[in-house]
Amino acid sequence: MEIYSKSFSAIDDLKNYIRLSDATFFHGNQTSTVVPYDRLKEYGQEQGWDSMTLGNLGQLPEECTLDKDNNLVIRGPVTWKQAREYCRSKGRNTMTSPTEELAAILSGVATSCTGERCFGYGTLREQLIECIYLDNQGNEKKLSSHKDLKDHEFFQTEESQVILKDYQDSYLQYIGFKNAPFPRLEKETDLMTGTEGQLGVVIEGIFKTAKLENVTYIFLALPKWEEDASIHLDVFDKVQGFRDKVYSCELVDENSWSYLSDDLVPRKGKDIVFLEIENIHFEEVYEKILSQFPQLSEDDIFEVPESKCRQLRMEIPRAIFEVNSKMGVTKKGTDVQVLPRDFAGLLEFYKKMARGDVAYNLFGHFGDAHLHFNFMPNPNETDSCQEKLESLYQWVYEVKGSPFAEHGIGLIKQKFIQHFYTRAQYEMFSYLKKVMDPNNQFFPQGFMMMREKV
Ligand SMILES: Cc1cc2nc3c(=O)[nH]c(=O)nc-3n(C[C@H](O)[C@H](O)[C@H](O)COP(=O)(O)OP(=O)(O)OC[C@H]3O[C@@H](n4cnc5c(N)ncnc54)[C@H](O)[C@@H]3O)c2cc1C
């Protein structure tokens, strides 16, 4: 198994390369947790691949500007960190804030990125106004979020309209989720959103931004969720009606603190749920949510500066990734979102998974009923973790939840996703690959090439 790499420093080079039709996995800043970048060769060997070619988009020229309507125009591998700093210097803010700030924004289109502020602002998909991608001829094509996919040139035959209608009907059960088990495919821009680079290369995106508001981060120190999750669930219920005033609502559990240096741990021995609250609404949120917990002392509710909050939130998943890497195991973590009615059930399921000797931790997008449970196994423990994950995904399937609401499918989640696909998905994926990528040159190992088991 050979890994070949190609880097592009000019768009014209990229266009010319695409015209060769060489099968390539184009990538941005390689922060995806569902692509095992650190052990691709071994992974490919296990899959029986002869080779894989990586196409690095990280050297392309960058552009990051605000247009006259304060929309953010991005070309090249601009990161979330760069864009946020730029927007702030102009009195604006990005509406998505993924935990990993070094990811590229255009990759975020491909992965249908979400993040902490998704609680208040929705997903990147909802903020994408327009994008330009390179098709399989290396030509630039523009897609608009104001145009429905059913009116796009790809869907003008009777056969394709039926495929689209069946697919969209099958999506309806997932409407309330950030990301379903399969891409939304409702608007033109959805051809590039969550399709993980399997239909073309995104080279430009125009995104909505928000006015820069002053915010306060309030931390609630709670009992460990495994012992008593009643206050957690009460916060969850109360915060739902405040999505226009609270931008994010996150959980970091007590087990996660062991991956941080002591100076970053806000309260030892406790879980933390934190809220990012817009200052002008602080009093109302305090009165209607924060003051409603007589079980919590004044010490259990405290403010943390934004920079510290951001740092601790980012350090934990990074440290977990490193621990797994050193241990030589592929990440055994979840990305499950359920409907609010099933959130208590999800915590119960995680409680069952936590039983046993394997270390674990839980954190993530609490307000959206979307948490990352991570096993921290040694190599001998990975099989038992895998079994527990399989039973979790069966449960998620039964309650009609979304198994991978944020990080996508990539390579390592493919084995779990197949159960969630029906004929409608397989037909759509084959159709899109046929019309948009007839040589299967864009991420040929991706989920769209999975075929229905007969
Ligand atoms: C610590 C940590 C925290 C994270 N937190 C979040 C989070 O809060 N929210 C979230 O959504 N994700 C999160 N992620 C996952 C990851 O950061 C995102 O999936 C991100 O969008 C990947 O960006 P990247 O530039 O690293 O892409 P890569 O890893 O390089 O590529 C990811 C995928 O996108 C495709 N792709 C990349 N660029 C393009 C392009 N220009 N055109 C077409 N296809 C392309 C690739 O083919 C690949 O399938 C986190 C990851 C880590 C390690």
Cα 56 to averaged position of ligand 1 atoms, centre (Å): 13
Tokens at 200, concatenated: 């073309």
Report the CATH number at residue 152.
3.30.465.10
Kindly tell me if the per-residue pLDDT of 453 is higher than 90.
Answer: no
Instruction: State residue 429's pLDDT score.
Output: 98
**Domain of residue 320, CATH code:** 3.40.462
**CB–CB of 143/188 below 8 Å?**
yes
- Using the mean position of ligand 1's atoms as its centre, give its distance from the Cα of residue 1 in Å: 24
pLDDT of residue 376: 93
Name the least confident of 74-78, 96-100, 104-108: 96-100
444 occurs within a structural domain: no
Cα 344 to Cα 232: distance, rounded to the nearest angstrom:
10
Region of poorest pLDDT, from 90-99, 247-256, 325-334, 369-378: 325-334
Q: Is residue 447 part of a domain?
A: no
**Is the beta carbon of 144 within 6 A of some atom in ligand 1?**
no
- Asked whether 136 and 394 are in contact (CB, 8 A), the reply is no
User: Is the same domain home to 246 and 162?
Assistant: no
How far is the centre of ligand 1, averaged over its atoms, from the C-alpha of 103 (Å)?
6
Per DSSP, the three-state class of 114 is coil
- How many contiguous H segments (helices) and E segments (strands) does the chain have? 14, 18
Ligand 1 atom at minimum distance from 365 CA:
8
The arithmetic mean of pLDDT across residues 344-352, rounded, is: 98
Q: Based on the fold, state whether residues 223 and 364 are members of the same structural domain.
A: yes
227 and 207 share a domain? Answer: no
Q: Does some domain include residue 407?
A: no
Phi, psi of 18 (to 5 degrees): -60, -35
* Pair 364, 379 in one domain: yes
* The length of the chain, given as a count of residues: 454
Domain annotation covers residue 406: no
The pLDDT score that the predictor gives to residue 329 is 79
70 lies in the same domain as 202:
yes
Domain identity same for 81 and 180? yes
pTM of the model: 0.95
Note whether 118 and 181 are same-domain residues. yes
Same domain, 208 and 222: no
Decide if 454 is inside a domain: no
Asked whether residue 204 is assigned to any structural domain, the reply reads yes
Quote the pLDDT of residue 326.
84
State whether 138 and 278 are in the same domain. Answer: no
Identify the CA nearest to 99 among candidates 328, 378, 370, 303. 370
pLDDT at 374: 95
Report whether 339 contacts 176 (CB < 8 A).
yes
Number of folded domains in the chain? Answer: 2
One domain, residues 150 and 294: no
- Residue 213: Cβ within 10 Å count: 12
Judgement on whether residues 152 and 205 belong to the same structural domain of the protein: yes
For residues 61-75, give the mean pLDDT.
Answer: 98
The tally of CA atoms less than 13 A away on the side-chain side of residue 2 is: 4
Establish whether residue 27 lines the binding site of ligand 1, counting it when its CB lies within 6 angstroms of any ligand atom. yes
